[in-house]
Amino acid sequence: MTATLYDSSNGLVEYSYQGEGPTLLLLKGGHSSRETDLSHSGLIYEGYSLLTVSRPGYDHTEVSTGRTPEEFAQTITEILDQLEIEDVTVIAISSAGPTAIALAVNHPYRINKLILEAALTTAWNPKTKRQARLFFGRGGKVIWKSIRLMLKVSPNLAVKQIMSSLTTDSVDDYVSKLSSNDRQFIYDLLLSSRSGKGFMLDINHKVLDMSQIKVPVLGMYTQKDKSVDYSNALSLQSNVPKCEIYEVKSDSHLIWIGENATNVWKKRLEFINN
């Protein structure tokens, strides 16, 4: 998708906007770049416009546009105003959860529905923060360069290393059951991943009081997600008044692949359309 840079009151924001019809706002997760596509681009062919906004520290979006979810939620409303978009359905992935929640809590009139896909609704635990700083802090570029090199030399080993942090199953069993399309999905994901300065912001994000969310919410989670624990789904369900949890029968954080991927797609569309 062609990227656009918008000069907001707090700095540059990168976004892409394509399609025709009601607008869906897509907020990608941690390590995701403009090239990362977890299949959501297909929503354009379902009769929707897709507004994809790169979060602070990712792509060309400057950190100054929002060091906290609340700050960036305000910046997003500037983009909506610039594009003359009254309201949107928000789709938030993984680490983008707190930003989407801040948007729903502080700017409820700009959102009509919220979809959280394997998204964080709780703060990061200290152990995960330490690991994140170790691997994706100053040495983040080296880590991703090594992963991409490993994909060329030993793709199976590269996939196993990444998936070991995303599935509660035996990683050997998980990888052995991947279809060729699912394996390609993971390759493309790894090739497009960048931490930038964004991931170090993500790990310090706090979640606002979700009981203040008034719009309908759909949360899609799997119990086998090692990265975003299922407790995030339970927290969402217990705090948000209008909330539906769809338990995905997926074997990892990557709920967009595998045998249940079609059901995830159908459930998302059903929620958007109704």
All domains in the chain, ordered by first residue: 4-123+205-273 (3.40.50.1820), 126-192 (no CATH)
Q: Are 74 and 106 in contact (CB under 8 A)?
A: yes
Q: What band does 38 get if pLDDT is binned at 50, 70 and 90?
A: very high
Confidence of residue 137 (pLDDT cuts 50, 70, 90): confident
Q: Which two tokens stand for residue 255?
A: 């709920």
User: What pLDDT was estimated at residue 139?
Assistant: 65
Closest by Cα among 64, 35, 3, 26 to 144: 35
| E strand spans, the chain | 4-8, 11-19, 23-27, 49-53, 88-93, 111-117, 217-221, 243-247
CA distance 203 to 120: 10
- Rounded Cα distance between 24 and 211, Å, is 23
Is a pLDDT exceeding 90 seen at residue 2?
A: no
Is residue 1 predicted with pLDDT exceeding 70? no
In percent, the amount of the chain with pLDDT more than 70 equals 99
pLDDT of residue 260: 95
Residue 91 near residue 53 (C-beta atoms within 8 A): no
Q: How far apart are CA 162 and CA 151, in angstroms?
A: 11
pLDDT band (50, 70, 90) for residue 120 = very high
Alpha-carbon span 254 to 62, nearest angstrom: 27
Hey, what are 181's tokens?
């399309």
Q: Which of 31, 40, 35 is nearest to 188 (CA)?
A: 35
Which pLDDT band, with edges at 50, 70 and 90, does 129 fall under?
A: confident
* Mean pLDDT computed over 114-136: 88
Q: For position 144, what pLDDT does the model report?
A: 87
Task: Look at the chain and count its residues.
Answer: 274
Average pLDDT taken over every residue of the chain: 95
Residue 73 CB neighbour total at 10 angstroms: 24
Q: What is the DSSP letter of 124?
A: P
Range in 27-36, 48-57, 123-132 the model is least confident about: 123-132
State how far the Cα of 103 lies from the Cα of 90, in Å rounded to an integer: 9
Residue 135 has pLDDT above 80, yes or no: no
Residue 199's pLDDT band (cuts 50, 70, 90): very high
